[in-house]
C-alpha cells in the first residue's frame, strides 16, 4: 500500500508553508502499530498526546475526534500498518511567538508495515554508541517534532554496517535511549531502564513493560546508567510501540545469547497483554 493521510479530517497530503510544525517543530506526534485493525495501548498513546499538548499549551482535539478520523482513514485496510498522528499548533505568523487561540492542525497518516530482513525479535540486533549527544531539556519525556538529534545520530552509520540501532547518551555520558527506542538492561535479575528526567522520550511501550514487570513481581529500577552498566549487563534489549522488543546480541565487543531469560519472559508477558487488550478500529 502507499501512504495515505488525512489533514483535519480530509484526504490530503499537504499543509500550509506557514504551519508552525513545519517552521519550528511546534507540535507533537505518536507512532502506533495497528495489527489486524487492533490498536494496542491506544488510550495510553492518547493520554501522552493530550499531556504533550498541555505542556506545549495548545488545544488537544479530543480522543473521540481522533479515533473517528483514524477509523475513517483505515477504512477497509486489513493488513498490519503503522499509524502516525501528528498535531501542530497550526498556521501562524512568522516569528517564534505563538498566535493566541490558533487552531491546531491534525495530520493522520497510515504507512506500510516495515518488515526487517531478519527476525530481530528472535535473532537480536547489533547496537552501537552514537557520537551525537542528547541535550538536557525541560521538554524531556515528550515526543515533540524536534528530532534533529536522532536524525544526526542515525546518519552516523549505514545499513551495510550491520548496525540496527544506536545508543544515545547525554552530555554527562549517561545512557538515555536508542535513536528510535527505549533501552532496558537486566542485571542480577533486576530490570533496569535509564532515568529520563532530563532527556529522552518516555515511550509508551517503556511504560507498559515497567507496569507489566511490576505486576508480575519482577524487580524494576529506573536509574542513571553508564556505558559500563550496559557492557556488563546480563541482558540488553530495546523497544518501542511498533517494533515491540529487540534483544541486543552485540554491543562493541560484548555479546549476549538472545533472547535472554528475562527478555523472553517480558516478551511473553507483552504478547499475552496484546492479545487481551487494545481497541479494534
Query: Using one digit for the tens of pLDDT, what is the confidence trace for 90-107?
Result: 998 889 999 888 899 999
pLDDT, mean of residues 237-254? 96
Quick one: pLDDT at residue 51? 96
pLDDT digits (tens, 9 = 90+) for 141-190: 899 999 999 999 999 999 888 999 999 999 999 999 999 999 999 999 99
Please count the residues of the chain.
281
pLDDT digits (tens, 9 = 90+) for 4-62: 999 999 999 999 999 999 999 999 999 999 988 889 999 999 999 999 999 999 999 99
Question: Do 172 and 207 sit in the same domain of this protein?
Answer: yes
Q: Which DSSP state fits 161? A: G
For residue 109, the SS3 value is strand
Q: What is the pTM of this model?
A: 0.93
Question: Do 213 and 165 sit in the same domain of this protein?
Answer: yes
Residue 161's CATH number: 3.20.10.10
Question: Do 103 and 190 sit in the same domain of this protein?
Answer: no
Q: Which grid coordinates belong to 111?
A: 504507512
Q: How many CB atoms lie within 10 A of CB 271?
A: 12
Catalytic residues: 31, 143, 177
Q: Which domain holds residue 27?
A: 4-112
Q: Which grid coordinates belong to 94?
A: 512568522
Query: Shortest CA distance to 134 belongs to which of 173, 160, 95?
Result: 173
Question: Do 145 and 200 sit in the same domain of this protein?
Answer: yes
Quick one: pLDDT at residue 179? 98
Question: Do 142 and 270 sit in the same domain of this protein?
Answer: yes
The answer to whether position 281 is within a domain reads no
Between CA 32 and CA 80 the distance in angstroms is 11
8 A C-beta contact, residue 141 and residue 202: yes
Quick one: pLDDT at residue 99? 84
- Report how many domains make up the chain: 2
User: Of 65, 96, 112, at which residue does a domain stop?
Assistant: 112
User: Of 73, 93, 112, at which residue does a domain stop?
Assistant: 112
The answer to whether position 79 is within a domain reads yes
Contacts of 107 (CB under 8 A, 6+ apart): 5, 6, 7, 15, 84, 85, 86, 87, 88
The answer to whether position 17 is within a domain reads yes
Question: Do 124 and 250 sit in the same domain of this protein?
Answer: yes
Question: Do 84 and 167 sit in the same domain of this protein?
Answer: no
Amino acid at each position: 500500500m502507499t501512504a495515505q493521510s488525512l489533514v483535519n479530517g480530509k484526504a490530503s497530503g499537504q499543509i500550509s508553508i506557514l504551519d508552525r510544525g513545519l517552521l519550528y517543530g511546534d507540535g507533537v506526534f505518536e507512532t502506533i502499530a495497528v495489527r489486524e485493525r487492533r490498536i494496542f495501548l491506544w488510550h495510553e498513546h492518547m493520554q501522552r498526546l493530550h499531556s504533550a499538548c498541555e505542556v506545549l499549551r495548545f488545544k488537544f482535539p479530543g480522543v473521540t475526534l481522533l479515533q473517528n478520523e483514524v477509523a475513517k482513514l483505515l477504512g477497509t485496510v486489513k493488513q498490519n500498518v503503522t499509524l502516525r498522528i501528528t498535531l501542530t499548533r497550526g498556521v501562524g505568523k512568522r516569528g517564534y511567538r505563538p498566535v493566541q487561540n490558533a487552531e491546531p492542525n491534525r495530520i493522520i497518516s497510515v504507512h506500510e508495515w516495515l518488515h526487517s530482513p531478519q527476525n530481530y525479535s528472535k535473532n537480536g540486533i547489533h547496537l552501537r554508541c552514537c557520537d551525537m549527544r542528547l541535550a538536557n531539556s525541560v521538554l524531556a519525556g515528550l515526543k515533540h517534532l524536534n528530532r534533529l538529534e536522532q536524525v544526526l545520530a542515525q546518519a552516523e552509520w549505514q545499513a551495510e554496517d550491520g548496525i540496527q540501532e544506536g545508543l544515545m547518551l547525554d552530555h554527562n555520558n549517561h545512557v538515555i535511549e536508542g535513536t528510535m527506542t527505549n533501552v532496558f538492561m537486566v542485571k542480577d535479575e533486576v530490570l533496569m531502564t535509564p532515568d529520563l528526567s532530563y532527556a529522552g522520550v518516555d515511550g509508551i511501550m517503556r511504560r507498559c513493560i515497567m507496569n507489566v514487570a511490576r505486576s508480575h513481581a519482577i524487580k524494576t529500577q529506573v536509574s542513571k546508567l553508564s556505558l559500563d552498566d550496559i557492557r556488563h549487563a546480563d541482558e540488553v534489549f530495546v523497544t518501542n510501540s511498533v517494533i515491540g522488543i529487540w534483544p541486543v546480541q552485540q554491543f562493541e565487543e560484548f555479546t549476549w545469547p538472545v533472547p535472554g531469560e528475562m527478555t523472553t519472559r517480558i516478551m511473553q508477558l507483552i504478547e499475552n497483554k496484546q492479545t487481551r487488550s487494545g481497541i479494534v478500529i
